[in-house]
Amino acid sequence: MPPRPRLLPLSAALASLFATLLALPAQGQTLNELYESARGFDATYQGARAQYDANVARAAQAKAGILPAVGLTAGATRNNLDIDTLTGPGRGTSTPRDFTTQNVGINATQPIYRPANWATYEQGKRQAEIAEAVLTAAEQDLIVRVSQAYFDVLASQDSLTLVRAQKVAVAEQLASAKRNFEVGTSTITDTREAQARYDLVIAQEIAAENDLQVKKIILDQLVGRPGSVPVPLSQPVVLPTAMPANIEAWVAQAEEAHPSIRQARLGLDVAGLEIRKAEAGHKPTLDANLGYNITRNPHGTSTSTVGTRIDAASVGVVFNMPLFAGFATENRIKETLALEDQSRSVLEGTRRSVAQATRAAYLGLVSGAGQVKALEAAEASSQSALDANRLGYQVGVRINIDVLNSQSQLFQTKRDLAQARYNVLLGNLKLRQANGTLTVEDMNAINATLAKNGGTPSQPALGERPQTSPSTVPVTPPSIPVVPPVPVPPFNPPAPTMPSTPVPPVILNPPVR
């Protein structure tokens, strides 16, 4: 039997594809750089910032209730009178009288004792803190959305790269099966199996190309810059670790730091102050008034023809004591007490939800890290299995489908491993978002896993917060030798001839039971 042609190693096929796909623009954008672009472009985040400014301004309005109110008044009135004499001398006569009244004044009122206004002022300060908590949650959401879009693009690029590498490997296997069939060392089945697998990989390549384009559109729309080029992970990939390695420590941090818990806690304070406002309906109020008014009648008044000017300065205190308001105050107090119970329930529910989400995120991160280690071992095992099946195919103890299945298993493992690494990086950010401690500085640890001038950066733990963030990083592809394409001879096999059906045997004198 003639020896089978020796197949090129899989690493050579991968090198050819990676060399082609890594010929990208020389400049890439880091995660921090794209996040800064998204801060100035993303409509959702911009809307959250505008809402924050509006809420802060609305909260500041509550301070007006404890500050003095000053007003300036001015006016002029023209009076036309007809004075009829009803009794006495001149009875029955009518005398016209026209005069002008001019006035200007300034008046100020300073609340001295208004418990409802002071409760409203305290509510305003809590509302400003609630607005800050809402904006913090929006910033954390933007970090996760940008990171998700960033790594989605990288994952799609890896998937397309691996599919194309698999296409090269399957094409090589198809060419080998054709050659072996022509020399008579294999059947047509091997060729058709390789052709079917090659057609399937072509379909997968089309789907991967489309998925990559969609992921790039999503990232570009999010950051507001066309043609974004995310910097890939450095090689070899060393993932950062999350510290502390204790699930309860992460839950404890959420109690004080999570924006939703702070918002619910402040909402409970606002509800308590609303009770004080309702109870103030039974309490008196005390205001101080100060005014200065000038009134001029240059042509007299209705009772005098002498022009006058009156300068009046006033200072005083106004006391008001509510006595009965139709039980409105009592019912308002009952309403606010019920609303306080509702706010307390909301706070407790938020605590439980945050604790559950934090535990789920932590367990997901631990599981993801374990999957990365398992897939790394599976990748090595799949490579060994493929090499063994290739060798077995060359010596005739394995068939073509065994090699094709090993190739598919290896490439699927590589795709799963790349996705698992991205999931771990995202899981670190989502864990901090779940317990409310996520900040922009946390992305620096993720940036440390990206390629920097083709080198391998140091890997800080995610519990540490570096103070610097890299800007545009030049992406230098590694030097990989290009493997020439495998020559594929024309495939014109003769039509197979099917053997004729044998004549069934004739049994003579069958035994009688």
DSSP characters over 227-258: T--BPPBPSS------SS--HHHHHHHHHHH-
pLDDT greater than 70 at residue 470: no
pTM: 0.75
Residue 180 is predicted with a pLDDT of: 77
Residue 272 is predicted with a pLDDT of: 94
Phi first, then psi: give them for residue 143, nearest 5 degrees. Answer: -60, -45
Band of residue 472 on the pLDDT scale cut at 50, 70, 90: very low
Residue 76 is predicted with a pLDDT of: 92
What average pLDDT does this structure show over 94-110? Answer: 89
3: Cβ contacts below 8 Å, ≥ 6 apart? 394
Of 22-36, 150-164, 241-255, 383-397, the least confident: 22-36
Of 154-168, 226-240, 281-295, the least confident: 226-240
Residue 496 is predicted with a pLDDT of: 45
**Residue 274, by phi and psi: left (phi above 0), alpha (psi -120 to 50) or beta?**
alpha
Residue 503 is predicted with a pLDDT of: 53
Residue 504 is predicted with a pLDDT of: 54
Residue 486 is predicted with a pLDDT of: 36
User: Could you tell me what percent of the chain has a pLDDT over 90?
Assistant: 51
Residue 214 is predicted with a pLDDT of: 95
**Under 8 Å between Cβ of 173 and 400:** yes
Band of residue 191 on the pLDDT scale cut at 50, 70, 90: confident
Q: Where are the alpha helices (DSSP H) in 82-187?
A: 115-183
Give, in degrees to the nearest 5, the angle at Cα 360 between 355 and 362: 95
What average pLDDT does this structure show over 206-211? Answer: 94
Q: Which residue did the predictor score with more confidence, 90 or 507?
A: 90
For the stretch 352-375, pLDDT in tens is 999 999 999 999 999 999 999 999
Residue 166 is predicted with a pLDDT of: 87
**Residue 247, by phi and psi: left (phi above 0), alpha (psi -120 to 50) or beta?**
alpha
**Under 8 Å between Cβ of 218 and 152:** yes
pLDDT greater than 50 at residue 9: no
Q: Which of 86-95, 133-142, 225-234 has the highest mean pLDDT?
A: 133-142
Task: State how far the alpha carbon of 503 is from the alpha carbons of 500, 506, in Å.
Answer: 9, 9
For the stretch 427-459, pLDDT in tens is 999 999 999 999 988 888 888 888 875 443 444
For the stretch 312-364, pLDDT in tens is 999 999 999 999 888 999 999 999 999 999 999 999 999 999 999 999 999 99
- pLDDT, the chain, mean: 82
**Under 8 Å between Cβ of 424 and 369:** yes
Helix (H), strand (E), coil (C) string for 188-234? HHHHHHHHHHHHHHHHHHHHHHHHHHHHHHHHHHHHCCCCCCECCEC
Task: State how far the alpha carbon of 75 is from the alpha carbons of 70, 103, 105, 396, 453, in Å.
Answer: 17, 5, 9, 112, 77
pLDDT greater than 80 at residue 160: yes
pLDDT greater than 50 at residue 183: yes
For the stretch 24-49, pLDDT in tens is 444 788 898 999 999 999 999 999 99
